[in-house]
Structure 1
Amino acid sequence: MSEARSAAEEDPAPAGGGPGGRTPGHTALLDEFRRHLRSTGRSPHTVRAYLGDVRSLLDHLDEVGGGIHGIDIALLRAWLSRAHGAGAARSTMARRTAAVRGFTAFLHRTGRIEADPGPLLAAPAPRRPLPAVLDEEQAHAALRPTEDDDTPTGLRRTAVVEVLYATGIRVAELCALDLDDVDRERRTLLVHGKGGKDRVVPIGTPALDAVDRWLQAGRPNWADAASGRALFIGARGGRLGTRTARRDVHERMRSAEAGDGVAPHDLRHSAATHLLNGGADLRSVQEILGHSSLRSTQIYTHVSIERLTRAYNQAHPRA
């Protein structure tokens, strides 16, 4: 992994705080747990979220009194019960459960507690809403030429949207791409996915053409020593960050009048759904998206079925 990529993926000091985050003993423990999470390949977003959850648990521990050795299943359930009573969503409860399971396993492995209560904690199954998906006409509209297409920013925005829609990769995966990850002969990208897992995904000719225009007329205007081998860079020369990439998508969609509020993940959802609608099999879409479980990919079949159901209800005389 290049130095530029490492710097871009380095997560900042966790936001928020609370008494647990400011207690010196807790601070040292949280720092060690942060390093542990990073070593397991967790994304910066997951690391921040888990640390926030564990901080909340340590705050609760301070309130009830007792040290780390006092963490048991009763305390964990009481902590989760408080969050539930405060109206935490099912998805939040599921994430908190996963975070604390990882934390208690870490405490047990490092000899801080005698037994690990984490496996006794049941996690609520989060309800998964159907993802927002563009129809194919909206997707085409987003990729039509715009007035600023000949500027470095416009060229990058077009290339970013083209690549996200063509490949279905995550925005963090797009930002982590290097120049050498593009294979024009095979029309593929080498994608650096979650947990340090690399995969090769196909990419269409229009997206490759947009990347080439960016490399020829956009990137050279900003490239400097800080750019390294990064495929996409910012105006100051460093590797493109996820926040700027999201803004690129928002602005590109707005300027193309394809809709406001469209995020990079909506393009990922749209790519997956359009692949299935076009006849791709579920296993192939799973590999393209980098899902470890087929269950994660199956949600897109529900989107396709919902579309078919609407068409059926509108068209069939006895629907």
Structure 2
Amino acid sequence: MTSAEPKENSRDGFNLDTVQWPPLPSLIRYFDDFHEQYRSINDLKSSDYWHVRIDGQDEYIDFSWAVAGTNNALKHWVVDGLLTGRRCNAMKTYVGELRSWCLGTDTNIFDQLVKINPDQLPRFWASKVLPTLLGKSDSTAIKSFLRFLCRRRFAEWHPSYAQIISALPTPHRDLYKRIRSGECFIPVLDQRVFANRLDSASQLLRNKPNTNKLSINVIRDYCILSLCFQYGLRPGQIARISASDIRVFETGALHVAFPLTKQRKVSSKIVRRIKREWCDLFVAYRKHAPPTPAKFFGLTPREVTEIVRTMTRALCGNVYAPGDFRHTASQRLVDSGASAVSVAEFLGHSTLNAGSVYYDTSANQAELINRALSISPIYSTVHQVALTRTLSRQVLERTSEEKIISGMPHGIPITGIGKCSVGQPNCKFNPIFSCYNCRHFIAIDEQQIHRNALNDLRQVARSFYDADRLRNASPAFLQLQETLDAIQRTLNELSSVKARE
């Protein structure tokens, strides 16, 4: 028996009975969002390779890997997705992910999955399907196909099971792993290299606009690099910029409009202003570049990515992709103190959640927040207390008298050791003997004051001991001992704070 025979046998049950389904249409139309026009797919039934245009390139949706019945069901699934507003790129990705999963595991699992009683789906998914999944992408494709079977009411599937399908677990994957680790961020030295080269190229065009020092392709590459560096645009956004999206004003300002990508709904374009020093790059390219039928740069997203990778390698010796520039620009914005709303608007996100990971990894964020709050004396005091549980003399002097702790235990005047957050008139304990052990006590950050209080109270303790050696365990003496220990702890904490500073 050859090695190919078991594979053929495993595919015998990999079939869906779609005889009762209506025939496929003669053609299907989809919207090509790159060239902004509708296209058609012909020969849906006879062809197992559907030719489509995605991001300006020829692609094919491959159905040849599935047997007849399943092959037909997959075609109906893609047609249903395109008719209900799914993008052609998404459906092609779904079919590819489903193909990789089916051919990478036992195909009988897929056969059992689609023909199982839906009530048994959660248990079957957890025991048979979940261990074979590689990530969220293949599980999303499988769920999409199962929901399609629900809409078609295949076998025992029914639309009411769609919610159960959506709730099925998927393998855990940290989508922001590279951001948390920091490996996607471009070092400051390399960022400086890119900024300096953009400045130099723009300065050269500004001083000698009619020279041939820079070829038109080099100017184009610098324009692409500036869009990545300044605004972290995706390759698809850069490739979709049209000539009409570039607007030059009499003042010398230049605005670029580009669409939001990776959004479920078609959205309008957003406008960004190019850094004034780099506008000459766009003006020169707009003036001398050959006309393109559709787009300003005449490139596909894949070509944009390759240009960025090649250019960064040539400039600094390290290879960076547009995604690295996007993460770096976002982190740079967060480190400068931008709000979550500003970051979401900068990234073109529809929610605030996706950009929150940049705040978690920002080393400057806590310092910026504290500095901003310290504009107000009230918040400055709150920050100092929260950090060290101490107060400075300046803050203590601005505190109301009823909250400043003072007293004369055993005739020894002790004052200015700190403040009570609730106020002495509301305290039923002896101020000096109890404050150091009280959670409402906030000590002044001057060690000498606490040393003086410690020395004074030690004299009182000595008088207790000298008066009667046999009664040194009296409640008053024990309370005094606890106070002395608390003062010593306060001094130790102040010493460690000073050492950290």
Q: In 2, are the aligned partners of 1:165 and 1:267 still within 8 Å (CA)?
A: yes
In 2, distance between residues paired with 1:151 and 1:299?
A: 40
Q: In 2, are the aligned partners of 1:177 and 1:192 still within 8 Å (CA)?
A: no
1:31 aligns with 2:31: no
1:70 aligns with 2:70: no
1:299 aligns with 2:357: yes
In 2, distance between residues paired with 1:243 and 1:149?
A: 27
- Tell me the equivalent position of 1:187: 255
CA 1:125/1:66 → structure 2, altered by over 3 Å: closer, same or farther? closer
CA 1:256/1:67 → structure 2, altered by over 3 Å: closer, same or farther? closer
Stretches (4+) displaced over 4 A: 5-8, 35-39, 56-62, 64-67, 145-149, 306-309
Q: In 2, are the aligned partners of 1:275 and 1:285 still within 8 Å (CA)?
A: yes
State the secondary structure of the residue aligned to 1:160: helix
In 2, distance between residues paired with 1:209 and 1:21?
A: 52
In 2, distance between residues paired with 1:121 and 1:13?
A: 30
State the secondary structure of the residue aligned to 1:232: coil
Flag the structure with higher helix content.
Answer: 1
- Tell me the equivalent position of 2:169: 122
- Tell me the equivalent position of 2:35: 4
- Tell me the equivalent position of 2:24: none
State the secondary structure of the residue aligned to 1:21: coil
Q: In 2, are the aligned partners of 1:199 and 1:290 still within 8 Å (CA)?
A: no
Deviations 1:19-40 (A, max 9, x none): x833233333323333444554
Q: Unaligned stretches of 5+ in structure 2?
A: 1-31, 38-52, 205-211, 368-497
Q: What does 1:124-273 align with in structure 2 at a 5 Å threshold?
A: 124-127=171-174, 128-131=176-179, 132-143=184-195, 144=197, 145=200, 150-185=214-249, 187-194=255-262, 195=264, 196-205=266-275, 206-217=277-288, 219-220=289-290, 223=291, 227-233=292-298, 240-257=299-316, 259-273=317-331
Letter in 2 for 1:104: L
State the secondary structure of the residue aligned to 2:295: coil
- Tell me the equivalent position of 2:500: 318
Deviation at 1:303, TM superposition (A): 3.1
Q: In 2, are the aligned partners of 1:163 and 1:203 still within 8 Å (CA)?
A: no
Q: In 1, are the aligned partners of 2:34 and 2:240 still within 8 Å (CA)?
A: no
State the secondary structure of the residue aligned to 1:262: coil
CA 1:191/1:137 → structure 2, altered by over 3 Å: closer, same or farther? farther
- When normalised by structure 1's length, the TM-score is 0.75
CA 1:107/1:126 → structure 2, altered by over 3 Å: closer, same or farther? same
Mark the structure with the bigger radius of gyration. 2
CA 1:40/1:288 → structure 2, altered by over 3 Å: closer, same or farther? farther
State the secondary structure of the residue aligned to 1:296: coil
Q: What percent of counterpart residues are identical?
A: 17
Deviation at 1:281, TM superposition (A): 1.7
In 2, distance between residues paired with 1:149 and 1:54?
A: 51
- Tell me the equivalent position of 1:312: none
State the secondary structure of the residue aligned to 1:305: coil
- Which one scores higher on RCO, CA 8 angstroms, separation ≥ 6? 1
Q: Unaligned stretches of 5+ in structure 1?
A: 234-239, 310-315
In 2, distance between residues paired with 1:11 and 1:76?
A: 36
1:102 aligns with 2:150: no
CA 1:286/1:24 → structure 2, altered by over 3 Å: closer, same or farther? same
In 1, distance between residues paired with 2:260 and 2:86?
A: 11
